[in-house]
């Protein structure tokens, strides 16, 4: 005879509770799925609009737009090898101390004799790296292979080694100028400016920031060597042309497009930016995959991916405006995005770089470059007329195609001249004319000043 299991009231209550919980979970899942479908539809509309403009959306599309270089044009065969040859000395404290002394020497003074000797010895020790850098400068097609299809995981060159290579060329220019060898000084500066080419179209923001830093070093080199050696009209013109070639307004826009592509793909792998998801496997096997899928669905349903795409697209469009307008609009967009952030940070907060700050740094770099170009034009004017111009407009059109405009306000670059030298300057990030006072930590003017030797 079968015994009938007694149905206690507490068991019935538990079943009801479980049914309620499962029913609620099912409703939540259905709601999320509906929101996911709705969010996905809106997202696809945005993506279609971007593709209609001919812009890449995914890392794979980005890689197609910026294909890898051939082996003979791969910068890994040149610049990377030069950097590798210097990797040990770059972390040496003695090297850094000596380099600090070089940078602290006032531009109107000659280097101390022992410092000049140290630079000569350093150049001799790394003559092979110098040779590679000069050879690389002769190939205008040299580019880096970034493997852009990997998104944020794309490998980039060693930035410390790139900087070390630029420093090597800077030291060569300093030694050559002090020795009166203007030809060697010019070739060293041209080789330093050529390091810009492999990075110019790189759709990676950090590479554009490094490009700006290396070009800034070349401008600093020009600032010091101009009064140190006698440069010919032809040499000054070559430097001026090389500087002008580094001026590429599309470079930052391409970098923002690359950031958008990589960031959008990161929404499919939130565990890369949210390590808590990866730790879920410690609870039970497969938990991270389940949590990752839930987060992806939640982000689409909440519209976070859509907001990210809209923000990045607005920033990209703003970057194409004239620089003063671009800076204003990007700053405004950045503040609006910050004001909409929730108390609980989402993946968008991890992915959005400070694009307005990056653009402002690029504008500083452009201002310094324009000052250097104007200084080279002034030196050419002085060779032809035996005196500097009274106004910057006198350089046009014989020595400059047009009066350079300040990236921060669109007005002519400011120009000052006295018995000790001359100055070209931009009003900088504070959008205020500080009379040519240069203090980067205070966001004052961006100054290119040439001081005559004492």
Going by C-alpha positions, the residue among 311, 399, 309, 323 that lies closest to residue 359 is 323
Helices (H), 226-249: 233-245
Q: Which of 309, 326, 353 is the C-terminal boundary of a domain?
A: 353
Going by C-alpha positions, the residue among 359, 323, 424, 393 that lies closest to residue 208 is 359
Q: What angle do CA 264, 364, 351 make, to 5 degrees?
A: 15
In angstroms, the CA 384 to CA 165 distance is: 35
Residue 12 lies in a domain: no
Residues 266 and 207 in one domain: no
Reduce the DSSP state of residue 340 to 3 states and report it. coil
What is the predicted pLDDT for the residue at 294? 57
How many structural domains does the chain have?
3
What is the predicted pLDDT for the residue at 9? 53
Residues 403 and 342 in one domain: no
Count of CA atoms in the C-beta half-sphere (13 A) of 317: 11
Residues 282 and 393 in one domain: no
Reduce the DSSP state of residue 427 to 3 states and report it. coil
In angstroms, the CA 12 to CA 142 distance is: 75
Residue 215 lies in a domain: yes
Residues 72 and 221 in one domain: yes
Residues 120 and 100 in one domain: yes
Residues 326 and 228 in one domain: no
Residue 9 lies in a domain: no
Residue 22 lies in a domain: no
Contacts 24+ apart (CB under 8 A), 349-355: 350/273, 350/274, 351/263, 351/266, 351/273, 351/308, 352/263, 352/308, 352/311, 352/312, 353/205, 353/259, 355/256, 355/259, 355/315, 355/319, 355/330
Q: Which of 233, 264, 289 is the C-terminal boundary of a domain?
A: 233
Range of the domain at 306: 32-55+254-353
In angstroms, the CA 213 to CA 235 distance is: 24
Residue 60 lies in a domain: no
What is the predicted pLDDT for the residue at 291? 54
Residues 179 and 319 in one domain: no
Is the Cα dihedral 361, 367, 371, 377 positive or negative? positive
Chain center to CA of 380: 32
Residues 87 and 124 in one domain: yes
Residue 112 lies in a domain: yes
Pair 281, 171: CB distance under 8 Å: no
Residue 245 lies in a domain: no
Going by C-alpha positions, the residue among 267, 265, 356 that lies closest to residue 62 is 265
Q: Which of 180, 198, 233 is the C-terminal boundary of a domain?
A: 233
In angstroms, the CA 80 to CA 274 distance is: 32
Residue 18 lies in a domain: no
Residues 221 and 82 in one domain: yes
Torsion, Cα 159 370 362 190, to 10 degrees, reads -20
What is the predicted pLDDT for the residue at 438? 85
Could you list the mean pLDDT of each consecutive 10-residue stretch along the chain, which spans 454 residues?
49 55 52 49 88 95 93 88 93 95 92 97 97 94 91 91 97 97 98 95 94 97 96 98 95 96 81 56 56 57 80 95 95 86 63 85 96 98 96 97 97 95 95 87 89 84
Residues 317 and 169 in one domain: no
Residue 74 DSSP label: B
Residues 77 and 189 in one domain: yes
Residues 95 and 213 in one domain: yes
Question: And the tokens for 222?
Answer: 């020009």
Pair 417, 442: CB distance under 8 Å: no
């Amino acid at each position: 005879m079968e015994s009938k299991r007694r149905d206690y009231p507490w068991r019935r209550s538990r079943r009801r509770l479980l049914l309620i919980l499962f029913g609620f979970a099912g409703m939540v899942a259905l709601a999320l799925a509906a929101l996911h479908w709705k969010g996905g539809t809106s997202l696809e509309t945005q993506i279609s609009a971007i593709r209609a403009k001919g812009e890449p959306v995914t890392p794979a599309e980005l890689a197609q737009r910026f294909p890898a270089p051939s082996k003979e044009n791969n910068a890994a065969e040149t610049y990377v090898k030069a950097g590798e040859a210097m990797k040990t000395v770059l972390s040496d404290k003695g090297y850094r101390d000596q380099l600090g002394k070089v940078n602290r020497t006032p531009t109107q003074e000659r280097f101390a004799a022992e410092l000049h000797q140290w630079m000569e010895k350093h150049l001799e020790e790394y003559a092979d790296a110098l040779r590679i850098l000069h050879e690389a400068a002769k190939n205008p097609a040299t580019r880096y292979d970034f493997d852009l299809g990997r998104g944020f995981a794309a490998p980039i060159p060693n930035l410390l080694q790139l900087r070390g290579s630029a420093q090597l060329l800077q030291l060569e220019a300093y030694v050559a100028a002090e020795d009166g060898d203007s030809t060697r000084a010019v070739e060293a500066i041209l080789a330093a400016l050529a390091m810009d080419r492999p990075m110019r179209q790189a759709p990676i923001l950090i590479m554009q920031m490094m490009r700006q830093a290396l070009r800034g070093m070349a401008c600093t080199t020009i600032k010091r060597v101009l009064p140190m050696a006698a440069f010919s009209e032809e040499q000054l013109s070559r430097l001026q042309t090389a500087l002008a070639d580094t001026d590429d307004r599309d470079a930052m826009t391409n970098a923002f497009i690359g950031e958008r592509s990589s960031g959008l793909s990161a929404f499919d792998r939130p565990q890369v930016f949210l390590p808590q998801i990866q730790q879920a496997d410690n609870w039970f096997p497969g938990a991270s995959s389940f949590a990752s899928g839930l987060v992806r669905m939640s982000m689409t349903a909440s519209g976070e991916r859509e907001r990210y795409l809209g923000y990045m697209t607005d920033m990209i469009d703003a970057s194409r405006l004239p620089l003063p307008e671009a800076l204003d609009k990007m700053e405004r967009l950045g503040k609006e995005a910050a004001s909409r952030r929730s108390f609980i940070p989402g993946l968008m907060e991890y992915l959005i770089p400070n694009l307005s700050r990056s653009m402002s740094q690029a504008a500083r770099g452009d201002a310094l470059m324009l000052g250097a170009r104007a200084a080279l034009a002034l030196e050419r004017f002085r060779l032809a007329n035996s005196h500097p111009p009274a106004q910057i407009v006198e350089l046009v059109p014989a020595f400059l195609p047009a009066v350079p405009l300040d990236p921060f306000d669109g007005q002519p670059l400011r120009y000052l001249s006295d018995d000790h030298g001359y100055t070209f300057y931009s009003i900088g990030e504070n959008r205020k004319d500080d009379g040519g006072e240069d203090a980067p930590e205070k966001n004052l003017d961006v100054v290119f000043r040439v001081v005559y030797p004492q």
